[in-house]
């Protein structure tokens, strides 16, 4: 097991033995890109509106701003996985559009296993500078392989949640309220609220707020001033926005 945090990389080989995951562990979104390679355990993994019962060798690709969580049963099996966190800038442009728009689950990925198991050797036997270079090379190789695989897997989709998520993404710069969702989607407020929380484990308006902050982050990274991004996304109080924005960027410390 290792946890390598150096420069712009955060790579780890983790194993959880019987215990209960915290709320932070269960549900979050962040501004970086993440790849999880599943070794073993009893885990249902959700990315936005799609859920899969992970099988050994599965890989999960989570693009920036995608809400995700794991439902982990540690009663009989430990939860072992590799987790790679890295900035979007490390993803080549010719890969980005295809991979970021692809479904998150990749199956039948036995060819990836040697890449991940090789990380253990690098972490144990090389300096930080050498390990960073080697990890970056392996990441590039992995991204190319995942981009070519484009295997959607056998995840379970929730059409109703997908409808809500798509609507929120399509109207992210507009004012979104529970009332407007109910009117636009033609469902009752209580039904939207209850179904979204039951599936996503988070209130729908908390999800909207988080998605707006992540979209603001993308605007800021492309040169927009923080105050302008906050105004564009409808945050009337800049100090409140900035506190939430800062907290979102610090979400990288949350385990996966």
Q: What is the pLDDT of residues 76-100, one digit of tens each?
A: 889 999 999 999 899 998 898 888 8
Same domain, 123 and 246: no
pLDDT digits (tens, 9 = 90+) for 5-33: 999 999 999 999 876 555 556 678 888 99
Contact 180, 172 (CB under 8 A): no
pLDDT digits (tens, 9 = 90+) for 146-170: 998 864 444 567 889 989 999 998 9
Same domain, 127 and 8: yes
Of 149, 174, 198, the one marking the end of a domain is 149
Same domain, 166 and 115: no
Of 149, 183, 208, the one marking the end of a domain is 149
Apex 60 CA angle, 64 and 90, nearest 5 = 45
Distance from C-alpha of 149 to C-alpha of 143, rounded to nearest angstrom: 10
Same domain, 84 and 183: no
Same domain, 23 and 135: yes
Write down the pLDDT at residue 156: 63
Distance from C-alpha of 164 to C-alpha of 172, rounded to nearest angstrom: 12
Where residue 103 falls (left for φ over 0; alpha for ψ -120 to 50; beta otherwise) is beta
pLDDT digits (tens, 9 = 90+) for 30-77: 889 999 999 999 999 999 988 999 999 999 999 988 889 998 988 888
Number of H helices, E strands in the chain: 10, 10
Write down the pLDDT at residue 154: 47
Our count of domains for the chain comes to: 2
- Tell me: pLDDT of 192 over 70: yes
Q: By percentage, how much of the chain surpasses pLDDT 90?
A: 52
pLDDT digits (tens, 9 = 90+) for 235-254: 888 888 888 888 777 655 45
Distance from C-alpha of 187 to C-alpha of 180, rounded to nearest angstrom: 10
Write down the pLDDT at residue 251: 58
- Tell me: pLDDT of 184 over 80: yes
Where residue 210 sits, what CATH number does that domain have? 1.10.10.60
Where residue 97 sits, what CATH number does that domain have? 2.60.120.280
Write down the pLDDT at residue 219: 87
- Count other Cβ atoms within 10 Å, centred on residue 90: 14
Same domain, 117 and 235: no
Mean pLDDT of the chain: 87
Mean pLDDT of 178-185: 94
* pTM, to two decimals: 0.76
Same domain, 163 and 92: no
Of 91, 125, 149, the one marking the end of a domain is 149
The residue range of the domain holding 191 is 158-253
Same domain, 195 and 106: no
Write down the pLDDT at residue 59: 94
Same domain, 131 and 24: yes
Same domain, 119 and 237: no
Same domain, 72 and 181: no
Same domain, 10 and 107: yes
């Amino acid at each position: 097991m290792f946890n390598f945090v150096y420069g712009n990389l955060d790579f780890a080989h983790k194993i959880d033995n019987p215990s209960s995951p915290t709320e932070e562990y269960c549900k979050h979104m962040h501004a970086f890109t993440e790849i999880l390679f599943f070794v073993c355990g009893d885990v249902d993994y959700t990315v936005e509106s799609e859920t899969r019962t992970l099988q050994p060798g599965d890989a999960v690709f989570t693009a920036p701003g995608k809400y995700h969580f794991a439902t982990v049963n540690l009663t009989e099996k430990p939860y072992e996985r590799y987790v790679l966190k890295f900035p979007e800038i490390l993803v080549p442009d010719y890969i980005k559009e295809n991979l970021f728009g692809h479904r998150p689950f990749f199956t039948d990925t036995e060819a990836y296993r040697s890449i991940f198991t090789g990380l253990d050797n690098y972490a144990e036997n090389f300096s930080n500078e050498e390990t960073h270079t080697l990890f970056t090379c392996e990441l590039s190789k992995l991204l190319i392989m995942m981009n070519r695989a484009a295997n959607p897997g056998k995840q379970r989709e929730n059409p109703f949640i997908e409808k809500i998520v798509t609507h929120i993404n399509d109207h992210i710069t507009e004012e979104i309220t529970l009332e407007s969702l109910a009117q636009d989607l033609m469902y009752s407020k209580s039904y939207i609220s209850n179904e979204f929380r039951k599936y996503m484990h988070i209130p729908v308006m908390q999800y909207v707020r988080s998605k707006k902050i992540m979209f603001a982050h993308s605007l800021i990274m492309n040169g927009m001033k923080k105050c302008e991004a906050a105004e564009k996304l409808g945050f009337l109080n800049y100090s409140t926005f900035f506190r939430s924005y800062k907290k979102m960027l610090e979400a990288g410390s949350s385990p996966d």
